[in-house]
Amino acid sequence: MTHHEYDVVIVGAGGAGMRAALESSQRARTAVLTKLYPTRSHTGAAQGGMAAALANVEDDSAEWHVFDTVKGGDYLVDQDAAEILCHEAIDAVLDLEKMGLPFNRTPEGKVDQRRFGGHTRDHGQAPVRRSCYSADRTGHMILQTLYQQCIKQEVEFFNEYYVLDLVLDKDPQAAADGEDVAVTGVVALELSTGEIHTFGAKSVIFATGGAGKIFKTTSNAHTLTGDGMGIALNAGLPLEDMEFFQFHPTGLAGLGILLSEAARGEGGILRNSEGERFMERYAPTIKDLAPRDMVARAMANEVREGRGAGPHKDYVLLDLTHLEPAHIDEKLPDITEFARTYLGVEPYTEPVPVYPTAHYAMGGIPTTVQGEVLRNNTDTVKGLYAAGEVACVSVHGANRLGTNSLLDINVFGRRAGIAAAEYAVALEAAPGLRDDAAARVEGIVTRLLATVGEAGTERVADVRKALQETMDRNVQVFRDASSLEEAAGAIAELKERYKGIAIHDRGRRFNTDLLEAIELGFLLEIAEVVTAGALAREESRGGHYREDFPTRDDEAFMHHTMAYTTQDGVRLDKKPVVITKYQPMERKY
Amino acid sequence: MTAVAESPAVGEVTALTVTLKILRTNPEGTADHAAGESYWEEFQVEAHATDRVLDALHKVKWDQDGSLSFRRSCAHGVCGSDAMRINGRNRLACKTLLKDLNPARPITVEPIKGLPVEKDLIVDMEPFFASYREIMPFLMTTGTAPERERLQSPEDRARFDDTTKCIMCAACTTSCPVFWTDGQYFGPQAIVGAHRFIFDSRDEGQWDRLEILNDKAGVWKCRTAFNCTEACPRGIEVTKAISEVKKALTSGDV
């Protein structure tokens, strides 16, 4: 076992982690730990753009952006946070441009902008061009640019170090309200050797991304297993609003691979088996550019009512055939290639089969606008921060707008990086890891390695597949009490089966079998919290739609959900929503 | 309840049995093989013609032998984790469909060449990333930054568009015969990384980078074998980019 000491330890090297690292490493001794290599992070798969009211191509304002974000989030957004997000957006884009990000340009040479779902002019009047983009690979460009800047600043990376535990100085659930609870460090498994490392730190930033792999059909990478969220739960910290999961309307049918909303921003149209542009019925003003929750529900509804396309009538069609091939090549080169490679469909001449795909967790580790992690509704954990998809600030409320996540990682990654470094610099001495800090992780690794060769036990892949299938069947676009209870029962059973899993790789080095077994543990924890929150929220809001409670109920449910795991299962609490300007209204587009 | 689209969704796709012949290495040894010894092992999996090679590898790992080790993440060709040598050619396992490989014959899968093998299909990527860092892959400018964005015409932006697509999978570098035999050569990817900045109108560090590439480990090692261009899963014209760098060096003009 090796021990390290840093002022700031950042867990995760996607957009939020690296944006934080650029700030933190200028101010304090910083280490970045990632279970991948930085350039493999899933920020690189984001396509359509990053929202900012630059007004480079038409009239726009940060205030309109705030309104769209709040309304898009079905009024569950904390409005103070949304104001920061949208007002700091402009500098966030300009900062990236100055770092070298190759945005697409207007004829005058400015950053070009395009339309995206839910982003409107003057409080919903018409779609507005707010998304700053680089073809349909904006996330790739952000990830590359941030990595390049990290090389320039000589940021210290620990690649393929899988963080498994967060060490606090006391149990946050046992601490009294107002009592200080502080971070002391993290414990990680070095994948190439199997060695366990402890990292003592004054500040820790979690930027580990999402948890899309709780579902079968997802746009998320295999590695998005909710590690940071699971670690937080295990450390006794809450997760906020986990029942709100975004299903992106246009996943490649049957595969879930993301086809950017930019396809519709550039003029693409969704059609059912009758060739009808069905979004005209669901969102008469902005049609195909309605927010994702509404479009995904509309698509699922078309399929359910028998107007799905294809031999099994189980998808709808994304029609780009009226667009010029040259325009498609310039603006949407990657996603059209995905359609060709994976479905054998030529988007110039044929509509592309699409169906909603699990895409983004609106919920996560609750934080303040400085990225400080909350251990209950009011107390922060000293020295602990979170940013990006793993966090819930909450700027996305019940439904995130497209292009607001690349914005989120830059704005709140930066804020968390500054806050974490300043806290570390002001703190005289590190609190110090306790001697047995690694004991829990050592126990997990030893126990799993001891299962090699055991007969008659469960396979990781079987339990994971069963979990993903029950989540797709029961906790997807449409939910109701019986589907959610079925899922809850299945998850409880799978958690039992998980106790009996055996792995096959006895080695220490690059034991990805062991890695997947640990990841599955996190997936089960998170699925349980998602389902419990969804069952308790007897209303429909944003990405959470209950067929047995089809309307929004502000009287009973205008609050965030705070979920804790305890020995007796998931405990749910409420947290008030911050409203500054915009009182909840009916959400029409 | 939600309707769940079953893969494959489009049309009917035939099921088939494919044989994967995988070059394996276990750094800690197995019952039959010494530590670090490389050996071939065959696996049969049931698959669909439209499955990716990555899906087939997962079937081996998940159902037959959990010790099979490889890197992967996004599974659709954008993260660059799963470059490997499939039927003798460098490709991404997640972007190669079985139907494009003649599944009637065994599909050979090996680690990419020229980097030390760590375990099975996992190689040590550090020498590759070290070459990338050498070429100073970040925008270099002088003077005070403008308040708003730096202006760049669409034409100037287009000059380096191709090389911005690089996902650093190493398929190009590890397909290069010069890289295999010459431990000093930066390899095609580092030159692609440099090209992306050399031809960016906003950058002022091009001559520093060109000097690095003019070095004995640099562009002049390239023998225009075109392997790199064929190997690139992003369709980057790698050899052309290298030629443009060579031309800039000889003409003294970018």
The answer for residues whose C-beta is within 8 angstroms of residue A83's C-beta and 6 or more apart is A66, A580
Sign of torsion over alpha carbons B151, B153, B157, B159: negative
Query: What is the rounded average pLDDT of the residues B187-196?
Result: 97
Distance (Å, whole) CA B162 – CA B196: 8
Largest CA distance in chain A: 69
B75–A472 CB contact, under 8 Å: no
Which of B53, B71, B78, B159 should we substitute to test contact with A (largest number of A Cβ atoms within 10 Å)?
A: B78
Q: What would be the CATH architecture of the domain defined by A451-551?
A: Up-down Bundle (1.20)
Give A522 to chain B, closest Cα distance, Å.
Answer: 17
Sign of torsion over alpha carbons B181, B182, B187, B190: positive
Give A19-78 pLDDT, tens digit per residue: 999 999 999 999 999 999 999 999 999 999 999 999 999 999 999 999 999 999 999 999
Q: In terms of Cα–Cα distance, which of A537, A544, A531 is closest to A484?
A: A531
What's the half-sphere exposure (Cβ side, CA atoms, 13 Å) at A493?
A: 11
Q: Considering only the beta carbons, identify the residue of B76, B97, B118 that sits closest to A257.
A: B76
pLDDT in the model for residue B3: 46
* pLDDT category of residue B122 using cuts at 50, 70 and 90: very high
Buried b (16+ CB within 10 A) or exposed e, A67-94: bbbbbbbbbbbbbbbbbbbbbbbbebbb
- Distances in Å between the Cα of B1 and the Cα atoms of A308, A504, A543, A566, B254 are 16, 36, 15, 29, 60
Judging contacts by C-beta atoms under 8 Å, the chain A residues touching residue B56 are none
Sign of torsion over alpha carbons A232, A236, A240, A244: positive
* pLDDT category of residue A139 using cuts at 50, 70 and 90: very high
B74–A344 CB contact, under 8 Å: no
Bridge partners for B18 per DSSP = B45
pTM over 0.95: yes
Which of A213, A510, A514, A519 should we substitute to test contact with B (largest number of B Cβ atoms within 10 Å)?
A: A510
B69–A460 CB contact, under 8 Å: no
Given a cut of 90, is residue A513 above it in pLDDT?
A: yes
Give B3 to chain A, closest Cα distance, Å.
Answer: 7
**3-class DSSP state for residue A479?**
strand
pLDDT in the model for residue B9: 44
Given a cut of 50, is residue B4 above it in pLDDT?
A: no
Given a cut of 70, is residue B206 above it in pLDDT?
A: yes
Given a cut of 90, is residue A147 above it in pLDDT?
A: yes
A509–B7 CB contact, under 8 Å: no
Give A13 to chain B, closest Cα distance, Å.
Answer: 13
Query: What is the rounded average pLDDT of the residues B187-214?
Result: 96
Q: In terms of Cα–Cα distance, which of A521, A513, A517, A509 is closest to A191?
A: A509
Give A443-462 pLDDT, tens digit per residue: 999 999 999 988 778 999 99
Q: Considering only the beta carbons, identify the residue of A103, A221, A315 that sits closest to B73.
A: A221
What percent of chain B has pLDDT above 70? 95
B154–A107 CB contact, under 8 Å: yes
Q: What is the 3-state secondary structure (H, E, C) of B54-99?
A: HHHHHHHHHHHCCCCCCCCCCCCCCCCCCEEEECCEEEEHHHCEHH
The domains of chain B are located at 15-123, 126-140+153-251
What's the half-sphere exposure (Cβ side, CA atoms, 13 Å) at A119?
A: 32
Query: What is the rounded average pLDDT of the residues B228-233?
Result: 98
Distance (Å, whole) CA B101 – CA A403: 38
Give A98 to chain B, closest Cα distance, Å.
Answer: 7
Judging contacts by C-beta atoms under 8 Å, the chain A residues touching residue B203 are 100
Distance (Å, whole) CA A74 – CA A60: 22
A100–B67 CB contact, under 8 Å: no
B126-140+153-251: CATH homologous superfamily? Alpha-helical ferredoxin (1.10.1060.10)
Query: What is the rounded average pLDDT of the residues A491-504?
Result: 97
Torsion of CA A406, A408, A413, A418, to 10 degrees: 140
Give A430 to chain B, closest Cα distance, Å.
Answer: 32
Lowest-confidence pick of A201-215, A279-293, B150-164, B206-220: B206-220
CB-based contact A241:A554 (threshold 8 Å) = no
Instruction: State which CATH number among 3.90.700.10, 2.80.10.50, 1.20.272.10, 3.40.30.110 fits the domain covering A263-356.
Output: 3.90.700.10
* pLDDT category of residue B254 using cuts at 50, 70 and 90: confident
CB-based contact A504:A450 (threshold 8 Å) = no
Query: What is the rounded average pLDDT of the residues A242-271?
Result: 97
Give A458-478 pLDDT, tens digit per residue: 999 999 999 999 999 999 999
pLDDT in the model for residue B12: 59
CB-based contact B8:A355 (threshold 8 Å) = no
What's the half-sphere exposure (Cβ side, CA atoms, 13 Å) at A199?
A: 31
Distance (Å, whole) CA B59 – CA B62: 5
Bridge partners for A3 per DSSP = A198
The residue of chain B nearest to residue A548, with distances taken between CA atoms, is B1
Lowest-confidence pick of A334-343, B155-164, B212-221: B212-221
Q: Considering only the beta carbons, identify the residue of A106, A144, A254 that sits closest to B5.
A: A254
Q: For residue B30, how many other CB atoms are within 10 A of its CB? A: 14
Distance (Å, whole) CA A357 – CA A256: 5
Sign of torsion over alpha carbons A365, A369, A374, A377: negative
Give the N- to C-terminal CA distance of chain A in Å, as an integer.
Answer: 57
Q: Which residue, chain included where needed, has tokens 């060695």?
A: A195
Give A407-439 pLDDT, tens digit per residue: 999 999 999 999 999 999 999 999 999 999 999
Which of B41, B79, B95, B192 should we substitute to test contact with A (largest number of A Cβ atoms within 10 Å)?
A: B79
pLDDT in the model for residue B104: 87
- Distances in Å between the Cα of A53 and the Cα atoms of A77, A292, A404, B46 are 19, 20, 12, 51
The residue of chain A nearest to residue B136, with distances taken between CA atoms, is A152
CB-based contact A371:A412 (threshold 8 Å) = yes
Distance (Å, whole) CA A460 – CA A463: 5
Distance (Å, whole) CA A461 – CA A319: 36
Judging contacts by C-beta atoms under 8 Å, the chain B residues touching residue A510 are 69, 118-120, 122
* Pairing relationship of beta strands A391-392 and A365-366 according to DSSP bridges: parallel
Judging contacts by C-beta atoms under 8 Å, the chain B residues touching residue A459 are 62-63
The two structure tokens encoding residue A543: 């990405």
What percent of chain A has pLDDT above 70? 100
Q: For residue A176, how many other CB atoms are within 10 A of its CB? A: 7
Give A25 to chain B, closest Cα distance, Å.
Answer: 17
Give, for A460, the enclosing helix (H) or strand (E).
helix A460-474
B3–A353 CB contact, under 8 Å: no
Catalytic residues of A: 292
Instruction: State which CATH number among 3.30.70.100, 3.40.50.720, 1.10.1060.10, 3.10.20.30 fits the domain covering B15-123.
Output: 3.10.20.30
Judging contacts by C-beta atoms under 8 Å, the chain B residues touching residue A311 are 11-12
Give A354 to chain B, closest Cα distance, Å.
Answer: 9
Distance (Å, whole) CA A60 – CA A152: 34
Distance (Å, whole) CA A73 – CA A394: 10
A223–B78 CB contact, under 8 Å: no
The DSSP-derived string for B3-28 is --PPSP-SS---EEEEEEEEEEE-TT
Judging contacts by C-beta atoms under 8 Å, the chain A residues touching residue B50 are 342, 344
ipTM surpasses 0.85? yes
Judging contacts by C-beta atoms under 8 Å, the chain A residues touching residue B152 are 105, 109
- Distances in Å between the Cα of A407 and the Cα atoms of A36, A208, A395, A519 are 23, 16, 10, 27
The residue of chain A nearest to residue B130, with distances taken between CA atoms, is A151
B66–A460 CB contact, under 8 Å: yes
In this predicted model, which residue has the larger pLDDT, A114 or B9? A114
The answer for residues whose C-beta is within 8 angstroms of residue A480's C-beta and 6 or more apart is A546, A547, A548, B1
Given a cut of 60, is residue B8 above it in pLDDT?
A: no
Q: Considering only the beta carbons, identify the residue of A100, A314, A460 that sits closest to B138.
A: A100
The domains of chain A are located at 263-356, 451-551
What's the half-sphere exposure (Cβ side, CA atoms, 13 Å) at A507?
A: 26
pLDDT in the model for residue B103: 84
Query: What is the rounded average pLDDT of the residues B58-75?
Result: 97
Q: Which residue, chain included where needed, has tokens 């375990």?
A: B119
A36–B73 CB contact, under 8 Å: yes
Q: Considering only the beta carbons, identify the residue of B4, B10, B69 that sits closest to A343.
A: B10
**How many inter-chain contacts (A to B, CB under 8 Å) are there?**
204
Q: Considering only the beta carbons, identify the residue of A39, A353, A512 that sits closest to B9.
A: A353
